[in-house]
Structure 1
């Protein structure tokens, strides 16, 4: 059966294939029309032929236009619940419920309206049994009329005043045939609704709102051990915003001082903090013999930026809002006195060094006993990064993490596995994925080594107009590589949702996304359901728009109950879809069920919610309903599958714009074109500036090390984390804008530190051979190998030096000769400092030259004549004086 989360508008023309789809469509005609209108109005076609949201940074979630708002939330889903000021919160954990059991469900009702609500009554209702997470997601968004099996009403004896709340117990009876039950006659998973009715103010008794969740009803006896238990592997994400002050540059031999905007990370690391609890939960659950199965079935998915910053925190750090310039001149003593006396320091020492050391030590121990894998740096959006067309930014996003984990945690991570937090990769992104290879030769996989190797052969860069620095280039780049990248010796695997590879060649759970690149699919419906858990539930771009609604309509407990149930349902569905054993000679052996890959939300994950999901996996393993499967085994195709996918890979570049895989639905959380352009401009200028510098054996710092932190800032600006929540999207884009702004300011400082200094006056030349003098300054910590380029009026020829070598933190004076037209009398030349390949790296400098006009020529000849006369007179005077002195000496002798 095709999951209902597959796209409708692809060349495959897939259908829902579930029982709830037609019912959903009937009640959502208006919502679907609005959603389609929103999609057409707010998207543009990207390089891969899939929709990408334009100008997302300019939107405010609070006042989104209808077309954009519909991409986050289908307005036709649960309209009454969304408009209600009455809230229902499920309080009871619903675990181990079996057929024939009775349980009291604790529910809290809270009145957020401004009027008294009277005659309150509520009851449990259920819908039909569901077979898989996709069907379940649709059922939870159905109209209340679909929940036809009802329990008895429970009345509240007193009214509920504004601001008040009350907690009541509802009877839940799963006994088959019970008059007070929900008509549950068989074990399985059921969508359940708590229906609340009441009389608001002076009105009539009517439906007010509902709370919904998935309920698992097990067998009356102990759960049997299935004969075909699917393998399960689960990622355990460790991510958090670091608060690193943007604009950092590299230093050596000592590391640059760590500057953080706040001390929030220390709060998460210390005892009882979010990261502390997440790590403790994982260690406790996977320790010892009892945790061996769960340890095999889980893998620490770590943001390498997080452990890099935590590692640096151990040596102390500073909390501040500003970063000093690495190229500013030495201030005069009196200026520093004045600055200190007039501007109070906003810096303060960080307090999390000890907590960072302790947390990192425990993480190192846990990582050494199990599996680790690197997430993209700072949780960056891989599809957004590849749209910049900058291969060094892509390299840092995909390959830096593995080396950081190996160095800091002293363990070998899973290599050549890409985990896009968006859940999908575009066609153009897949073309860049060979750069994720970390198993080849050092000069091909290490970004700095690769840079230097290509630099020796002429670095390929994205070129901008010859008279414009990359920081000002207004053109969006081609998102594909300039040339096809070499196929990595060890294939690249990328985790993507099953509904994002609709037209790619597939075999089982594997899909061919390009030469050497294999997609490993996991259940998008399950992942989207898990993403809706936690304090900030997410709307993921691969989710079916027919299921997108405000997730906070249901309480955190209800959403977590749904997530746990969906996980069990996915495991059961995988077991049921496996081929049953068939007796008899010559019959094919039964196929093993497809594994279930569990991808919880990366951030912000609540420790308690994550712990319950982890314990659900543990219980599935303990009961025999699932078996442990390592991440490596779950993501590595066998040789036969590799052969099939290799044969299906088209060696000829496909026509751009074809739609084979990518975003299956409009994704409202993607970075805007404006953000992509900012990252493109800044990363390309970083390339040009890095190329301008020259490594010096006498200086420990290298040019790539100096610029790398600025590239990593751009990855933070394009992060997925924080963007997929409708209420937090505006905050996330504002944070990204601050990173880009601070990063650009630093680049402008670096740009201004390498400059040609104008003379400040008009050059007056006596002859055409008179030289023009100019000073070149370099404030960078490495020497600069530059070229002088110029522009002037027709007929101007400036003879510039072939090479301009400027020492680190120094300056030189150079001279040029120029053949300039004599008309007009003054000529203005525009000079720039460029790299060896012609890329502009400095601001333009104007020099005005007084040329050799008629008046200047006459004055020149007159001056020369006067000088000759003066020289002759001086010579005559000298000879006369010598003769007189000689005559006096002769007379005196006599």
Structure 2
């Protein structure tokens, strides 16, 4: 019986639970609620619903920063658009705020939380009865900073300084659903000080009469205003990065020996008016002014109320002296190298992975030249510091382990910036793009003789006291810390918002849900946070409160590829100028920061911050295979450079000729500019393309210098005749090489030493050869650079030396000895007056031979006849020769 009752009770509970779930959509109140993900609809309809039915675009929030001179009302204007596929009815809107942010991480976590806590909420106001898909409606709402004199006028309840999260919440009833939150937009409201307020004035107590009442706020004035905290001004240093993802196509040799190739024409669009880099440079004209020959075009967006004063385009903002003193231009030398090359004319590769692919003409040469001229003028009037070349990752440099590549990434950039811009940049400080380093990266900095760096506070942990300037010593390296959440807020600006790779998951805001206006307001609040969050001298210490690692430092480091519009930049400048002029912050030039880093005493240790890389560690997407390939390419490039020579008719030096290949390897290990696995996948693909392209060019260079194979059989005229060869060099510079020869025993070939092969020319070479035999032999000849890089293909020559070796030598010696002996014998007989026996068998000459004997013989004959012939002979008869034999022959 009990079991049957239990089954009945369980069934009834299940039925009631189902009924409650079915009634929830219809009974949901107008309070803020999470968006629906499923709805019930007609048969056959799609059950899935969008994560947001509508979108809120914030146009402005006034005041963007609350001060004693601000109106005591916060006003927000914007537009609500139906981005779903169904109508929304009964739309209402209200303003909500949360508790003040207690730490820098809250600048992002308060915006990333799916269910933020609401401390104060205003009443819902009717927006519209119905909003069809694709339609939008403008709104403007206001709410007092504090409660009104009576309870009928609710306010935001802000009674002290701080940075407050604010949300615009829109509720509505989508078709086939119930009342729910259909859109929301969050931003931050910085409160530097507060305007007068009657309610707060009641809590004021004259300090001379006693302590402030229990409701009194620090800094409370007799009129209810709250003063700014000026007891510990933040030391403001604002860097202004100018950088872009690598655009030079890989595998192209330098020194103007080959046409400049770009992977795309995106950089040209960025340099032209309205482009990202153009906007960044144009914004600086509001601080240092525009070149006399130029006027910067009007801002693309209307400035905020604080910067709406009438002024000519391109002129500096009034009172920008302190702001200019605190700012420093951070430039990527890779960007300068690329823009300068573009200004001289360039091409766009159809296949960036192939250095020999077809190209099309580039369109940004004029824009590049104009932008570079403006940058030179601007850089000459403000601080400039060089970023690591192409944002190369320090951990990857450590894994590659090539000191020359590390120097090219960290030491050479300052020289490149100085040479192109004509300035003297700040030295001794490296600013890693990622914002974090590990022990291996710190070792690379020390090896490159860089003594100081700037890193996010989340990448180190103090081992002792916290330094109020945010400077620590990590072994032999000094580090200036900055807040990564502020960097993330800057990265979210503009038309291409990003989430930096250093951002942990809990701080990753869905930027697609936020408009340009809301992201701008958040960035303004993030910039002001270090100056507003200072502890007050008149406030008792909070034992639970931990001082930030950065202390009172307002070292502001935007992400390198950020994209603020001119309106965003003006809002940042207006806020920074307000903080500096009010005394809440003090300008600190970067040169002063670098100089004071030497005095850093507090120690810290490096840690891996959360959110780095696909597996949560510091480093780029460098695989072990890619590491080995880059190491080989870099070594080969150094060896090739060591073998090249400068030519009088070529402007390129060996260093300028080969350095682009090493720079390509630095571009291959650039740090990720945003978070996400898709970013690492893209980086790996680009990395492989650059590595293969450089390897292809190096291989092509080795094939460009070779020995011209004569072919056939080579016959020497004698045993010491030289072997003639020709070598060809198709490179743009002369190359020094050596011949490596392998010959069989019996053939000796002399060593010519180092030979110089002219650029794009041919040289004849004579190899001294000596052979000991007359047989055909095979000689193998190869060509290497003086540094050991093999060139071209080895050749094999079939050579006939035409020599007889030792037998011929002995025969020649024997013949010489016999000749000497026979000559000596004849002379011996002649000196003794004896007939030579060798002449005995010589025949008597006939009449013709006598006639040919000449006048000497005839004269001797007439002389003999004149003296008288021997008896028995007449004058006409030849005298008898007793040596003559009976047959008329010689007896010898």
TM-score, normalization by structure 2: 0.66
- Measured in 1, the distance between the counterparts of 2:538 and 2:195 equals 26
What residue in structure 1 maps to residue 101 of structure 2?
Answer: 130
What residue in structure 2 maps to residue 603 of structure 1?
Answer: 561
What residue in structure 1 maps to residue 276 of structure 2?
Answer: 274
1:500 maps onto 2:475 in alignment: no
Matched residue pairs, number? Answer: 688
SS at match of 1:627: strand
Post-superposition offset of 1:616: 1.7
- Measured in 2, the distance between the counterparts of 1:404 and 1:805 equals 34
SS at match of 1:502: strand
Q: Aligned in 2, Cα 1:725/1:888: closer, same or farther, shift over 3 Å?
A: farther
2:250 aligns with one of 246, 250, 268: 246
Post-superposition offset of 1:206: 2.9
What residue in structure 1 maps to residue 336 of structure 2?
Answer: 307
Q: Aligned in 2, Cα 1:132/1:504: closer, same or farther, shift over 3 Å?
A: closer
1:558 aligns with one of 506, 512, 518: 518
1:681 maps onto 2:632 in alignment: yes
| Alignment check: 8 A CA contact 1:228 1:593 kept | no
What residue in structure 1 maps to residue 868 of structure 2?
Answer: none
Q: Aligned in 2, Cα 1:166/1:818: closer, same or farther, shift over 3 Å?
A: farther
Post-superposition offset of 1:273: 4.0
1:413 maps onto 2:425 in alignment: yes
Post-superposition offset of 1:713: 2.6
| Alignment check: 8 A CA contact 1:249 1:707 kept | yes
What residue in structure 2 maps to residue 152 of structure 1?
Answer: 123
| Alignment check: 8 A CA contact 1:327 1:753 kept | no
1:707 maps onto 2:658 in alignment: yes
- Measured in 2, the distance between the counterparts of 1:592 and 1:207 equals 38
| Alignment check: 8 A CA contact 1:541 1:666 kept | yes
Post-superposition offset of 1:301: 1.1
- Measured in 2, the distance between the counterparts of 1:313 and 1:617 equals 35
Please list the CA deviations of residues 72-107 of structure 1 after superposition, one character each: whole Å capped at 9, or x if unmatched: xxxxx9997993353232222341446983344224
What residue in structure 2 maps to residue 636 of structure 1?
Answer: 595
Post-superposition offset of 1:672: 3.2
SS at match of 2:96: strand
| Alignment check: 8 A CA contact 2:481 2:550 kept | no
1:91 aligns with one of 55, 59, 68: 59
- Measured in 1, the distance between the counterparts of 2:352 and 2:679 equals 30
What residue in structure 2 maps to residue 298 of structure 1?
Answer: 327
- Measured in 1, the distance between the counterparts of 2:537 and 2:700 equals 62
Alignment of 1:566-585 (within 5 A): 566-573=526-533, 575-576=534-535
1:317 maps onto 2:263 in alignment: no
Post-superposition offset of 1:842: 3.8
Please list the CA deviations of residues 131-151 of structure 1 after superposition, one character each: whole Å capped at 9, or x if unmatched: 232133223233426225322
What residue in structure 2 maps to residue 371 of structure 1?
Answer: 383
- Measured in 2, the distance between the counterparts of 1:691 and 1:283 equals 45
- Measured in 1, the distance between the counterparts of 2:709 and 2:36 equals 67
- Measured in 2, the distance between the counterparts of 1:256 and 1:610 equals 39
SS at match of 2:336: helix
SS at match of 2:758: coil
- Measured in 2, the distance between the counterparts of 1:408 and 1:394 equals 21
2:670 aligns with one of 702, 719, 727: 719
Gaps of 5+ in 1: 1-76, 329-342, 437-487, 583-590, 649-658, 820-824, 862-882
SS at match of 2:606: coil
| Alignment check: 8 A CA contact 1:132 1:569 kept | no
Q: Aligned in 2, Cα 1:706/1:130: closer, same or farther, shift over 3 Å?
A: same
Post-superposition offset of 1:733: 5.3
What residue in structure 2 maps to residue 822 of structure 1?
Answer: none
Alignment of 1:772-811 (within 5 A): 776-787=727-738, 801=751, 803-809=753-759, 810-811=762-763
Post-superposition offset of 1:265: 3.9
- Measured in 1, the distance between the counterparts of 2:236 and 2:422 equals 27
What residue in structure 2 maps to residue 526 of structure 1?
Answer: 486
What residue in structure 1 maps to residue 11 of structure 2?
Answer: none
| Alignment check: 8 A CA contact 2:232 2:536 kept | no
| Alignment check: 8 A CA contact 1:500 1:542 kept | no
- Measured in 2, the distance between the counterparts of 1:751 and 1:665 equals 44
What residue in structure 1 maps to residue 233 of structure 2?
Answer: 229
Q: Aligned in 2, Cα 1:797/1:733: closer, same or farther, shift over 3 Å?
A: farther
Q: Aligned in 2, Cα 1:756/1:219: closer, same or farther, shift over 3 Å?
A: same
Q: Which of the two has higher C-alpha Rg?
A: 2
- Measured in 2, the distance between the counterparts of 1:703 and 1:327 equals 20
Post-superposition offset of 1:270: 4.2
- Measured in 1, the distance between the counterparts of 2:184 and 2:850 equals 128
Moved more, 139-148 or 415-424: 139-148
| Alignment check: 8 A CA contact 2:250 2:352 kept | no
TM-score, normalization by structure 1: 0.66
Please list the CA deviations of residues 210-241 of structure 1 after superposition, one character each: whole Å capped at 9, or x if unmatched: 32222224412475461321210101112235
SS at match of 1:641: coil
Alignment of 1:747-758 (within 5 A): 747-756=698-707
| Alignment check: 8 A CA contact 1:713 1:739 kept | yes
- Measured in 2, the distance between the counterparts of 1:768 and 1:264 equals 67
Post-superposition offset of 1:598: 0.6
Post-superposition offset of 1:497: 0.9
